[in-house]
Amino acid sequence: MSRILVAMSGGVDSSVAAAVLASEGHDVVGVTMKLWGGPSDTGCCSVSDVDDARRVAQQLDIDHHVFNFGAEFDRHVVAPYVADHAAGRTPNPCVECNRHLKFDRLLRRADALGFDAVATGHHARRVDRADGAGGVRIARGADRGKDQSYVLYPLHGEALARTLFPLGHLTKDDVRSLAAELGLRTAAKPDSQDVCFITREKGGRGTFLGDRIPLRRGAIVDREGAVLGSVDAVELVTVGQRRGLDIGGPGGPHYVVDVDVPGATVVVGSAEDLLADEVRLESMVWAGAPWSGPTLAQCSAHGRTQTAVVEAIGPDRVLLRWDEPQRRVAVGQSVVLYDGDVVVGGGIATGANGPPW
């Protein structure tokens, strides 16, 4: 029997993760991380989510605590999110929350309290290295439609060895069925879909960022520099965007192919103009030794993998060449590399094409 601290967000997945571990005889304690102190009607940071987690813990007859990590969340997730938009990057706050909060701050708190492991309700698996050299890796969960290995890529080494994913072998339907059998109050609760600190009812991302940084009107130009229109806030535009540009006429549809925040300019082009042969990644995190050669790359949380070749540039950055041209990856987005279903590494996109570093 192990003493396990289960991160309970108030959703059905983490509820069932706690239930599974408790049923296996482990000494389970639930914890909800209070991350965001502002208004929230999406994601996993609302007052009702904390209450749901507490009540599920009561149903399971396990202790439940709330850890206030608000200062760390603001420093490592919210502030970089705002800074990235101000610089014209497209951040991935869920990846940074996992990197700094769930699998760093929470693990350190678990250590201090004498827990053997931390568990979450992520749909992913922890697998042994196939080469027999020891160690563990993150692999895709059984439910491909709900797989969350992409947002977990920063987790590796000793931290991963002390983290459990009890739902990795289950489908989402399995999870909901089990929750219903146990009578858990979260059995039919919808999945969270959005950034937890962005509210729908109070103006969304535009209002959130506008309260923190100046948003500037920008020109929309074509590849030759001809002005086609304007956007209210260049900081809110991302590569690949099509909606909200309001520029009809010949040559459409138009896609954003570049965002120049200092120059207050959005460059648009055709779907073909959006294609790139390569993308550069920095801040690489490797599951083991740096990978080179053929790989499968995923560029968004629920996107398809694409075949590519990794050309190592340095220990923390690589050049990724696509086997076939792909849509440009927005600067700031994570790209995760796989060997089959197993994560081998991941990094943050810095751009596509152009001269090397």
Q: Report the CATH number at residue 138.
A: 3.40.50.620
Answer for the pair 69, 34: CB distance below 8 angstroms, yes or no: yes
Q: 61-74, pLDDT tens digit by residue?
A: 999 999 999 999 99
Answer for the pair 192, 42: CB distance below 8 angstroms, yes or no: yes
The span from the CA of 308 to the CA of 293, in Å, is 8
Which of the residue ranges 201-205, 254-258, 270-274, 316-320 would you say has the lowest mean pLDDT?
201-205
Q: 32-64, pLDDT tens digit by residue?
A: 999 987 655 455 556 788 999 999 999 999 999
- Residue whose pair of structure tokens reads 């990094």 in the numeric block: 347
244 plus 288 within the same structural domain: no
Helices (DSSP H) in 33-185: which residue ranges?
47-60, 70-73, 79-86, 93-97, 106-112, 157-161, 172-182
241 plus 286 within the same structural domain: no
Q: 278-297, pLDDT tens digit by residue?
A: 999 999 999 998 999 999 99
Which of the residue ranges 34-48, 241-255, 322-336 would you say has the lowest mean pLDDT?
34-48
Average pLDDT of the segment spanning 4-8 = 97
pLDDT at 134: 59
pLDDT at 354: 44
Query: Is the per-residue pLDDT at 149 higher than 60?
Result: yes
- Chosen domain end from 238, 269, 300: 269
Q: What is the CATH number of the domain that holds 342?
A: 2.40.30.10
37 plus 149 within the same structural domain: yes
Query: Is the per-residue pLDDT at 356 higher than 60?
Result: no
Query: Is the per-residue pLDDT at 327 higher than 50?
Result: yes
247 plus 300 within the same structural domain: no
User: Which pLDDT band, with edges at 50, 70 and 90, does 192 fall under?
Assistant: confident
Burial of 172 (0-12, 13-18, 19+ CB in 10 A): middle
Residue 262 CB neighbours (<10 A): 9
Domain that holds residue 31: 3-182
- Chosen domain end from 138, 163, 182: 182
Residue 347 CB neighbours (<10 A): 23
104 plus 141 within the same structural domain: yes
Within 13 Å and on the Cβ side, how many CA atoms surround 240? 15
pLDDT at 344: 95
Full DSSP string of 2-38: -EEEEE--SSHHHHHHHHHHHHTT-EEEEEEEE---S
Catalytic one among 44, 45, 196, 299?
Answer: 196
Q: Is residue 256 part of a domain?
A: yes
Burial of 295 (0-12, 13-18, 19+ CB in 10 A): buried
Which tokens belong to 217?
């009107």
Domain count for the chain? 3
Which tokens belong to 285?
């995190």
The span from the CA of 125 to the CA of 147, in Å, is 9
The span from the CA of 296 to the CA of 311, in Å, is 13
pLDDT at 154: 97
Query: Is the per-residue pLDDT at 256 higher than 80?
Result: yes
pLDDT above 70 covers a percentage of the chain that reads 92
pLDDT at 313: 79
Q: What is the CA radius of gyration of the chain?
A: 21
pLDDT at 130: 63
Which of 239, 241, 318, 328 has the alpha carbon at shortest distance from 285?
A: 318
pLDDT at 355: 44
176 plus 139 within the same structural domain: yes
pLDDT at 45: 58
pLDDT at 1: 72
Cα-based distances in Å from 46 to 35, 193, 207, 292, 294: 10, 13, 19, 42, 42
* 44: annotated active-site residue: no
**Mean pLDDT of all residues belonging to the chain:** 91
321 plus 218 within the same structural domain: no
pLDDT at 194: 72
User: Which pLDDT band, with edges at 50, 70 and 90, does 302 fall under?
Assistant: confident
Q: 15-27, pLDDT tens digit by residue?
A: 999 999 999 999 9
* 94: annotated active-site residue: no
Q: 73-106, pLDDT tens digit by residue?
A: 999 999 999 999 999 999 999 999 999 999 999 9
153 plus 302 within the same structural domain: no
